[in-house]
Amino acid sequence: MFEGLSVAMVTPFKNGAIDYTAVSNLVEFMIEGGVQGLVVSGSTGEAATTSFDEKRELWKFVKAQAKGRAWMVVGTGTNDTAQSVGITKLAEECGADGALVVTPYYNKPTPKGQIAHFTAVAKSTKLPIIVYNVPGRTGTNTLPGTIAQLQDLANVVAVKEASGSVDQMSQVKQQSRFTLLSGDDSLTLPVIAVGGEGIISVVGQMVPREMRALTDAARAGRMSEAQAMHDKLAPIFKAAFIESNPSPTKFLLSRMGICANELRLPLVPVEPSSETAILAAAEKVGVKLASAVYA
């Protein structure tokens, strides 16, 4: 479940509020480009600085905008299990097709605590759950052996693996029944090569057609074709993370005319030197820029 190309979309802001015109622009651009799933309110979506009410309104809007053309998974995980349960119940009420539940950050729970957390969230809902392992953000690595112990939870269906270790991702696939999704754009090809079924992408909102082509080719075993697309996209894979995500992405989307280059503190726009590098990467990849910056 959730195989193929999903995109962890940014949350567009304008003058401090969610910009629903830009949300519509982004959703349409991605779906027209072949994106199969939308992941809303993840770390790329600045979920940590959006309120409960903002999430509710955003999820309902994206669900209505997608009109069934792409599934909608929403980020519901926090470092507070009770709060995560509450947000997951909200996601179900809003018509989400699944919930993305990150390993609790800051608290640094043991494997036993991680299992208890995911179990509590999964048992609180009928929604399919994607476990999200991203040690670089959480400070805690959810190991393959820990993930394997979640297999008795019927609605835990997939793992978004962003440890950066292809070996660890391979072990997740070997030790569990879950759909394995890469959490790193640059590792899409190698993760699929070791049994992964897709990617929850960041750059897919800037180059959706190309990321869909890469994912489809790799999943079909057309590795030379997939390798060629990987090589083409390598500059933007790097540029999208030249500073803290999603700052580089929002800058480039603003230059594409899709949304404003506005973030919520503590995130700030990228530095001028990073802007230059991002635009150079976009040119190499063939990203079409707008005649005017979105403002």
Give the residue numbers marked as catalytic: 132, 160
Q: Which amino acid is at 22?
A: A
Residue spans of alpha helices (H) in 94-246: 111-123, 135-138, 144-148, 166-175, 188-193, 208-219, 223-239
Omega before residue 269 within 30° of 0, cis: no
| Beta strand pairing call for 37-40 and 13-14 | unpaired
Cα–Cα distance list, 201 to 90, 181, 208, 224 (Å): 24, 10, 9, 21
R_g of the chain computed on alpha carbons: 18
Answer yes or no: are the C-beta atoms of 269 and 252 closer than 8 Å. Answer: no
Cα–Cα distance list, 252 to 43, 79, 233, 259, 268 (Å): 18, 30, 15, 9, 14
